[in-house]
Amino acid sequence: MVTEECSRCQWRGTFPGVDHITCDFCWITGRVKAKLPPRADGLCPAFEEGDQMRIEVRPMDDPFRAIIVKGKRFSHEELLALYNKGLTDGEIAREIGSVKSTIYKWRHRNKFPPNGKPQDGGSKYDYKVFRELYDQGLSDTKIAKACGCAASTVSRWRTLEGLATKGISGSAPRLDRGWMRELYDKGWTDERIARVVGCNSSTVGKWRLRNDLPANGRKEMR
């Protein structure tokens, strides 16, 4: 709701050809007004009298192409300039004070390929290999085993790429139970077995309970 206060608030926003005032608090700060402490008079908790914070018009054609970091907005053009310099996701993130995952999502939305080698400030895994194995029909667990990473790493990559699950990734029937039993007999804990086999520790725990096996202690045989 726009009140008389809005015309004096520093978070106010105006647009060409539009008479009314809009609130730009969420757009500028990246925070939600509903989480601010309420005022005793029941009016807007974000009200701060002062000059308008932002004069320029926001790009309404595609507002998701910009990134807001700690209240500061970085336009698509600013990010593109850093990308065109050859900076990796990690280097761009450090430049603007953000995190790699934010830059990855921005780059992925715009269908830009990653700069540099995977280990140069970016991910230590080669996602092209992930995609090649995925196209061959391998599940998350098998891709992870081939690339030497956790199945959750492959799952996160697949989710960001918008790809469907293939096979029954990480489920007990697809695991090598003989190998699990061999590791268990060595005194390994559920967590350590899960890391080596490529599944969750809860999966190992369920397998162990089905076989009436007690849990191994924290002290593991080396």
* Rounded CA separation 222/210 (Å): 26
pLDDT > 70? residue 63: no
pLDDT in tens, 159-193: 777 787 775 444 434 567 778 888 898 889 998 88
7-32 pLDDT tens trace: 888 888 765 555 667 787 776 676 77
pLDDT (tens digit per residue) in 91-139? 888 888 888 888 888 887 777 777 765 444 445 677 788 888 888 888 8
Nearest to 48 by CA among 66, 72, 24: 24
Looking at residue 222, its pLDDT comes to 43
Total residue count of the chain as it appears in this document:
222
* DSSP summary character for residue 219: S
User: Residue 73 is inside which H or E element, if any?
Assistant: strand 72-74
Distance CA 23, CA 189 (A): 55
